[in-house]
Amino acid sequence: MVSPRTLNILILSDGLPGHVNQSRGLVSWLANRYHCEVREVVVALRMRPVARILLPRLLHGRTAEASVTSCFYRKNATLLPVPDLLVSAGGNTSFLNAALARQWQVPNIFLGSKRRLRSDDFAAHLTLEPTGEPHNIVMALAPTLIDPERLQHRGVELRRELGLAPDKKLNMVAIGGDGAGFHYDQASLDQLVQLIVREHERAGACWLLTTSRRTGRGVEQQLQKAIPSEVLADSVWWSEAPRKVMSAYMGAADQLFVTADSMSMIAEAIASEKPTVVLQPGNARPDERYLNALQRYEHAGLCTLAELGQPLKTAPVRPGALAEAKDALLDRLVARLGL
């Protein structure tokens, strides 16, 4: 048996979990095919308003590498050993990603909006929506660090802590907040409460409920008053007592409900391989790219889209859908990078 090739990978991080976890997730997917040795460095873009205008011009000039690394970034990644592959997400890392790849002559991957840079500044530019450029690869799902087996262990532990039987039916609901074209008015919140109560009455399912940083104290207080305590097996009201419980909740629940305003929250739920329902308020106005991504998830059998206030329709996760999405991305990526 031939041993897998070793890849020395450098992740450039802007320190934002939503960005760097995509990079880490992609590397964890690559680790299914390669032996990955990973370094991670946090970098900070200085003079951002000016840098975002000047750096695209500098990157296409003769002194691009020196200008980018010495003038506009606080952390000098050039002191690190040259990797086989560069990976980053988040616009503030994009300029350094492109500059170092050119300086070191190594392939680079960037996830997300490339600002004013060109497609050929990256060996592979990964997005959820097509850009129409030759180096763009469309992801069926943004990479995450979710490991279904690990989730299952955490779920068993949580059920034990809560004194719940292994066969007790549980639903999880993760509630975000206004953003990405979604607004939760009073009618939407009332409809969310009705869904929670109705599913408890219909199927006897108790709920694991968590809000988020973006939910806000006012919305949380309304939900706390409206949701009967007996339908909740456990809850986290973020503005009062934040706890990171998503992994344990996803592992313990039989079915997952997430509000549609957070693409990272949706991706994590889908990656759990549990039946996932994405809840949208009736007044939702996401942009076309965001809506297309949600519809593509549903079409691929990864989740079900549901509008609050309408009859709830759920569908099981299509077996193998997630594995197909990962393999398709990795196949295209490996071919593009020549690994």
Read off the pLDDT band of 175 (50, 70, 90): very high
Question: By the 8 A CB rule, do 108 and 93 touch?
Answer: no
Q: What is the pLDDT of residue 295?
A: 92
> Any residues with CB less than 8 A from the CB of 1 and at least 6 apart, and which?
none
| Cα distance between residue 268 and residue 255, in whole Å | 13
Question: By the 8 A CB rule, do 53 and 124 touch?
Answer: no
**DSSP characters over 237-290:** -TTTS----HHHHHHH-SEEEEETT-HHHHHHHHHTTS-EEEEE-TT----HHH
In the chain, the percentage of residues whose pLDDT exceeds 90 is 67
> Using CA of residue 29, residue 112, residue 23, residue 99, what is the dihedral sign?
positive
Q: What is the pLDDT of residue 318?
A: 78
Question: By the 8 A CB rule, do 77 and 86 touch?
Answer: no
**One CATH from 3.40.250.10, 3.30.310.220, 3.40.50.2000, 3.50.40.10 for 6-138:** 3.40.50.2000
Query: Greater confidence, 77 or 93?
Result: 93
The mean per-residue pLDDT over the stretch 279-304 comes to: 90
Q: Which two tokens stand for residue 106?
A: 């190594």
The mean per-residue pLDDT over the stretch 4-9 comes to: 91
Q: Exposed, middle or buried, 75 (CB in 10 Å: 0-12/13-18/19+)?
A: middle
Read off the pLDDT band of 62 (50, 70, 90): low
Read off the pLDDT band of 141 (50, 70, 90): confident
> For residue 317, is pLDDT > 80?
no
Q: Exposed, middle or buried, 57 (CB in 10 Å: 0-12/13-18/19+)?
A: exposed
Could you check whether 6-138 and 148-321 share the same CATH topology?
yes
Q: What is the pLDDT of residue 66?
A: 59
- Give residue 151's Cα distance to chain centre: 16
Distances from the Cα of 217 to the Cα of 63, 91, 244, 305, angstroms:
50, 30, 17, 27
Q: Which fold has domain 148-321?
A: Rossmann fold (3.40.50)
Tens digit of each residue's pLDDT (9 = 90 or more) over 204-226:
999 999 999 999 999 999 999 99
Q: What is the pLDDT of residue 110?
A: 97
| Cα distance between residue 118 and residue 287, in whole Å | 23
Q: Which two tokens stand for residue 58?
A: 């500098």
Tens digit of each residue's pLDDT (9 = 90 or more) over 250-290:
999 999 999 999 988 999 999 999 999 999 999 989 988 88
The mean per-residue pLDDT over the stretch 59-84 comes to: 73
Which letter does DSSP use for residue 4 in this model? P
Helix (H, G, I), strand (E, B) or coil at 130: coil
The mean per-residue pLDDT over the stretch 142-154 comes to: 93
Query: Greater confidence, 116 or 171?
Result: 171
Read off the pLDDT band of 77 (50, 70, 90): low
Most confident range, picked from 71-85, 260-274, 302-316: 260-274
Domain boundaries, the chain: 6-138, 148-321
**Residue given tokens 């011009």 in the structure block:** 57
- Give residue 323's Cα distance to chain centre: 17
Tens digit of each residue's pLDDT (9 = 90 or more) over 233-249:
999 999 999 999 999 99
> For residue 4, is pLDDT > 80?
no
Helix (H, G, I), strand (E, B) or coil at 3: coil
Query: Which alpha helices (DSSP H) does the chain contain, by range?
Result: 17-30, 48-59, 64-71, 91-104, 148-162, 186-203, 217-226, 246-252, 263-271, 288-299, 321-337
Mean of the per-residue pLDDT values for the chain? 90
Query: Greater confidence, 203 or 153?
Result: 153
Q: What is the pLDDT of residue 76?
A: 63
> Any residues with CB less than 8 A from the CB of 140 and at least 6 apart, and which?
296, 297, 300, 302, 324, 325, 328, 329
| Cα distance between residue 269 and residue 38, in whole Å | 26
∠ CA 264-270-273, nearest 5°, is 145
